[in-house]
Amino acid sequence: MKKKKTNRYDASNLAEAQFEPGSRKRVLKNMLGIKSKREMDRIEALVQLPVMEELSGIYGKGHRFTATDICGIHKVWLGRVYEWAGRYRRVKLSKDGFPFAFPKEISGLMDEFERDVLKKYTPCRFSAIKDIARAIAVVHTEIVLIHPFREGNGRVARILSALMALQAGLPSLDFSGIKGKQRQEYFAAVRAGMDKNYGLMEKIFNAVISRTQRTQKG
């Protein structure tokens, strides 16, 4: 019997490449059997608040984050939803024609990220707001550009940003203002990071910090 040839570059059989039956390929296969994208978005957001409380207890003000910690954050947040939570993705991803890092490059890129970025900017104990915004902007942009996970990269980046803000003595960040026009500015800021230009993202985080502080005072 002739042996069927396999394509070692074919990722279609991976768990993270599967969609939930009945979801019309809008929801990834999950351990909760959720088929609606709206319901999945709700569940992911619902889980985030207790996750933040748990993570803030794990990673204190003096903690220097590592690539392993990033995986741990993803696992704590989505470990009850996806079986591959906390593991680097093995499928290619892009958004609106913008390609993220190839899967085979992710491990090396995360090692570089830990050495060159996390080691420099965490623990985030800067006193000036502009320095805090700069540190968070660089870390946030680089995580989103690498896009190490199959799902939840933007929110993991926001969770880490919030944890860094707590290290700096700020309240947990309020991202509610990033919508509409601001959301388009956010995506432009991510793209600018390809050239190590973090100015746009710094502007966004200065606004996020300012909004957070006003909300707390109110």
Model pLDDT for residues 34-68, shown as the tens digit of each residue: 999 999 999 988 888 889 999 999 999 999 999 99
pLDDT score, position 12: 59
pLDDT score, position 215: 82
CB 55 within 8 A of CB 72: no
CB 34 within 8 A of CB 27: yes
Is residue 88 very low, low, confident or very high in pLDDT (cuts 50, 70, 90)?
very high
Task: Give SS3 for 94.
Answer: strand
Give the residue-averaged pLDDT of 79-91: 96
Is residue 19 very low, low, confident or very high in pLDDT (cuts 50, 70, 90)?
very high
Q: What are phi and psi of 140, to 5 degrees?
A: -60, -50
Which range among 20-24, 47-51, 138-142 shows the weakest confidence by mean pLDDT?
A: 47-51
Whole-number average pLDDT of the chain: 91
- 60, 118, 138, 148, 161 from 75: Cα distances, Å: 18, 19, 23, 13, 17
Distance CA 162, CA 171 (A): 8
Q: Residue ranges per domain, the chain? A: 30-217
Q: Answer yes or no: is pLDDT of 10 > 80.
A: no
Give the residue-averaged pLDDT of 114-137: 97
Whole-model pTM? 0.90
The angle formed by the CA atoms of residues 88, 86 and 124, to the nearest 5 degrees, is: 95
pLDDT score, position 145: 95
Nearby residues of 105 by Cβ (< 8 Å), 6 or more positions away: none
Distance CA 130, CA 116 (A): 20
pLDDT score, position 4: 45
Class for the domain spanning 30-217: mainly alpha
Sequence-separated contacts (24+) of 25-32 with Cβ below 8 Å: 28/82, 28/150, 28/151, 29/82, 30/81, 30/82, 31/80, 31/81, 31/82, 31/83, 32/80, 32/81
Distance CA 98, CA 188 (A): 11
Is residue 217 very low, low, confident or very high in pLDDT (cuts 50, 70, 90)?
confident
Distance CA 90, CA 7 (A): 14
| Burial of 173 from C-beta contacts in 10 A (0-12 / 13-18 / 19+) | buried
pLDDT score, position 2: 47
pLDDT score, position 176: 86
Give the residue-averaged pLDDT of 187-198: 95
Tokens at 78, concatenated: 């989505």
Which range among 64-68, 147-151, 178-182 shows the weakest confidence by mean pLDDT?
A: 178-182
Q: Answer yes or no: is pLDDT of 9 > 80.
A: no
Distance CA 82, CA 34 (A): 11
Tokens at 124, concatenated: 């985030």
Nearby residues of 17 by Cβ (< 8 Å), 6 or more positions away: 11, 91
